[in-house]
């Protein structure tokens, strides 16, 4: 539910975060920048000078990366004095930079240098870095495969769900036949279809597309339906007195009026589809990040698993942000609170 | 009727057909019980007239307008335009509702263009959109979105959206009911000016006696629900009218009496 409220309140929260003066910056920015920078320098020093409990590789590279972050923070603050826009951005990042620096330092000590965390299950940061520097072709390949599957499934599901929703909202006959089916099948988690899908479809790839489409399509259909059903009836009266036919009422009144709801459905569908994507990749599809995770576990390559998780997080967040961007463009008429 | 086409600046599709409300009764169903709203209402409006339908709120005036617009069919009786019964909505009879009901996803310009677009006339008559916007004085705001407009401006856009179709009948369902009193007074004058300029037949539902007196050539007073006609009063004064015109003040006293409110006046 939090996702929905975030989506619905999207504009307000954006607006309020802009108008609110930054509360995290109470300590002068310079002190904070020095502290953040120091935490990364400490990480670099610990990484480089303390011996590893077992050999993890990429020690100097990670130390260098930490120094680079420390230097970038200082440089950013200095450059920010001249350019206020950049300065504000850097100052906003400072508290998080400090927190991450401290986290990385502790992580490095516990995992890499003191061996408090059991190895090899919790690799240190430079262990992860090694995955990114050495195994990136496979990771990229995995991301592309996952994106392809996700895109196909999501697109099919969104398009079919959208039209089913419109038809449910518009036609009583369609509703009579389809509504009970949706009520019966809808609550079943899509994953439950997985065993059937894998033998009913010619390939595990097409089966996965079906499962992702099912997961996406359901919330999209329900939300589109509720959007069409809740259109202000006066909108139809206006159009009808102006000479609109039914086609016009559907395409130029009902659908545009329902779009804000449709986007809520798309967000819910997208979130749910990630779970099915990864499961499908783990269970049958021999490609993608889910498969990579499974494969890494099989080889006890724990650092690779963490690396894949990070990549997956970036990918999923990226897709959600992309959908936000699209929504803001399509629903741009809601933006701007200039009153004349 | 009062100089309907005398002020015309441009070619005007003045109303030529009469509207005949012929012994109309209507009822809604409320929790299984019939709720009568109109009881044997009949009157005739000559082309170019400005008729105000006045009555207590909830008496069924707005229902009558929905019937005239063709959005609903009366239970008994019929409404005719030149002896042809109204069977459904038609762009020659356009409604301006109490709420502007602009589409929030369309700019002011696109909202005004709605009727032409729905009738497939946008390509050939696009210039009419600009004319209608100019008519209500909103040309500078054509790219704005409805949420950026004040109540009065939004209602003017709704007016332009109706006028762009050059309707023969303009049906006004308390269009000024939710506006502040200053905006209301200026828009009363504006609607009268548009009516004189365009020559359409106007039907105005209102519960504001003064508004009816300032705007209409004829006032039909309705009773409480189910509405019947209590009085049919011609208002034979020149425009622009003044609220303190003794003739109007006298009429106002008479109408308030009909509505059972003489004591408060």
What is the per-residue pLDDT for A291? Answer: 93
pLDDT digits (tens, 9 = 90+) for B197-252: 888 899 999 888 888 888 888 888 888 777 778 878 888 878 788 888 887 888 88
* Residue B115 contacts A, CB cutoff 8 Å: yes
Indicate whether A292 pLDDT > 90. Answer: yes
* Residue B119 contacts A, CB cutoff 8 Å: yes
- How far apart CA A124 and CA A135 sit, in angstroms, is 17
How many residues are recorded in chain A? 340
Indicate whether A276 pLDDT > 70. Answer: yes
Q: Which two tokens stand for residue B88?
A: 């459904």
Residues in B closer than 8 angstroms to A259, CB to CB, are: 105
What is the per-residue pLDDT for B6? Answer: 38
Indicate whether A269 pLDDT > 60. Answer: yes
pLDDT digits (tens, 9 = 90+) for A32-47: 889 999 999 999 999 9
* Neighbour count for residue B257 (Cβ, 10 Å): 13
CATH topology of domain B1-92+167-265: Rossmann fold (3.40.50)
pLDDT band at A150 (very low <50, low <70, confident <90, very high): very high
A213/B225: higher pLDDT: A213
What is the per-residue pLDDT for A238? Answer: 92
Tell which residue, A6, A25, A150, A42, has the closest CA to residue A90.
A25
> In Å, how far is B72's CA from the nearest CA of chain A?
10
Indicate whether A26 pLDDT > 70. Answer: no
Residue B41 β-bridge partners: B24
Contact predicate A216/B74, CB 8 Å: no
Indicate whether A140 pLDDT > 90. Answer: yes
What is the per-residue pLDDT for A9? Answer: 42
- Are A232 and B94 an interchain contact pair (Cβ–Cβ within 8 Å)? no
> In Å, how far is B83's CA from the nearest CA of chain A?
20
Alpha helices (H) in chain A, listed in sequence order? 2-8, 10-19, 29-49, 59-82, 84-107, 125-134, 136-170, 172-185, 194-200, 204-229, 233-241, 246-248, 255-283, 288-298, 302-330
* Residue B169 contacts A, CB cutoff 8 Å: no
Residue B38 β-bridge partners: B26, B227
Indicate whether B5 pLDDT > 70. Answer: no
Domains of chain A: 2-122 (no CATH), 136-334 (1.10.3720.10)
- How far apart CA A187 and CA A69 sit, in angstroms, is 47
Residues in A closer than 8 angstroms to B90, CB to CB, are: 241, 243
How do the domains of chain B map onto residue ranges? 1-92+167-265, 103-166
Computed over every residue of chain A, the mean pLDDT equals 86
Pick the residue of A15, A237, A240, A242 with the most B CBs within 10 A to test the interface with B by mutation.
A242
- Are B118 and A248 an interchain contact pair (Cβ–Cβ within 8 Å)? yes
Residues 6+ apart with CB under 8 A from B217: B1, B2, B49, B50, B51, B234, B235, B236
What is the per-residue pLDDT for B13? Answer: 57
What is the per-residue pLDDT for A255? Answer: 94
Q: Which two tokens stand for residue B248?
A: 């109007």
Computed over every residue of chain B, the mean pLDDT equals 83
- Lowest-confidence region among A292-301, A319-328, B227-236: B227-236
What is the per-residue pLDDT for B42? Answer: 84
**Interval A131-160 mean pLDDT:** 94
């Amino acid at each position: 539910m939090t996702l929905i409220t975030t989506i619905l309140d999207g504009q307000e929260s954006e607006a309020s975060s802009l108008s609110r003066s930054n509360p995290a910056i109470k300590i002068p920015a310079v002190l904070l920048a020095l502290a953040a920078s120091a935490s990364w320098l400490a990480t670099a020093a610990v990484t480089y000078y303390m011996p590893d409990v077992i050999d993890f590789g990429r020690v100097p590279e990670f130390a260098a990366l930490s120094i680079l972050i420390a230097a970038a923070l200082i440089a950013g603050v200095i450059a920010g004095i001249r350019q206020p826009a950049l300065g504000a951005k850097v100052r906003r990042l400072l508290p998080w930079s400090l927190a991450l620096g401290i986290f990385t330092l502790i992580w490095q000590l516990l995992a890499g240098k003191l061996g408090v965390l059991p190895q090899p299950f919790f690799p240190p940061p430079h262990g992860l870095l090694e995955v990114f520097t050495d195994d990136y072709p496979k990771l990229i390949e995995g991301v592309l495969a996952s994106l392809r599957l996700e895109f196909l499934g999501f697109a099919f599901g969104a398009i079919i769900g959208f039209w089913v929703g419109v038809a449910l909202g518009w036609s009583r006959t369609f509703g009579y036949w389809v509504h009970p089916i949706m009520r019966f099948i809808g609550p079943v988690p899509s994953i439950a279809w997985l065993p059937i899908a894998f033998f009913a479809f010619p390939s595990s790839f097409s089966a996965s597309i079906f499962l992702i489409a099912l997961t996406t399509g359901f919330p999209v259909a329900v939300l589109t339906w509720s959007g069409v059903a809740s259109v202000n009836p006066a909108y139809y009266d206006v159009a009808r007195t102006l000479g609109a036919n039914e086609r016009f009422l559907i395409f130029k009144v009902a659908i545009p009026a329902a779009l804000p709801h449709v986007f809520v459905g798309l967000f819910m569908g997208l979130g749910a589809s990630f779970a099915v994507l990864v499961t499908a990749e783990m269970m049958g599809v021999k490609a993608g990040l889910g498969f990579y995770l499974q494969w890494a576990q099989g080889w006890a390559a724990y650092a690779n698993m963490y690396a894949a998780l990070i990549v997956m997080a970036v990918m999923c967040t990226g897709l959600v942000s992309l959908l936000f961007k699209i929504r803001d463009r399509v629903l741009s008429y809601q933006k701007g609170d200039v009153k004349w | 009727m009062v100089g309907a086409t005398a002020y015309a600046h441009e070619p005007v599709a003045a109303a030529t057909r009469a509207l005949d409300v012929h012994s109309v009764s209507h009822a809604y169903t409320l929790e299984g019980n019939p709720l009568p709203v109109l009881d044997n209402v009949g009157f005739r409006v000559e082309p170019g007239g400005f008729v105000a339908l006045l009555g207590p709120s909830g008496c069924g005036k707005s229902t009558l307008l929905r019937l005239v617009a063709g959005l609903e069919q009366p239970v008994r009786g019929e409404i005719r335009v030149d002896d042809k019964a109204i069977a459904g909505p038609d762009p020659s009879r356009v409604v301006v509702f109490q709420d502007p009901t602009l589409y929030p996803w369309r700019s002011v310009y696109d909202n005004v263009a709605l009727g032409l677009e729905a009738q497939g006339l946008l390509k050939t008559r696009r210039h009419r959109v600009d004319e209608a916007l100019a008519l209500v004085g909103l040309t500078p705001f054509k790219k704005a979105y409805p949420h950026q407009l004040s109540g009065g401006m939004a209602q003017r856009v709704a007016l332009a959206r109706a006028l762009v179709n050059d309707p023969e009948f303009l049906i006004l369902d308390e269009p000024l009911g939710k506006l502040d009193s200053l905006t209301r007074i200026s828009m009363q004058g504006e609607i009268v000016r548009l009516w004189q300029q365009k020559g359409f037949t106007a039907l105005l539902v209102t519960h504001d006696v003064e508004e009816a007196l300032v705007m209409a050539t004829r006032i039909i007073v309705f009773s409480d629900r189910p509405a019947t006609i209590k009085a049919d009063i011609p208002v034979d004064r020149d425009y622009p009218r003044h609220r303190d015109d003794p003739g109007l003040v006298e009429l106002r006293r008479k109408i308030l009496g009909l509505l059972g409110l003489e004591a408060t006046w």
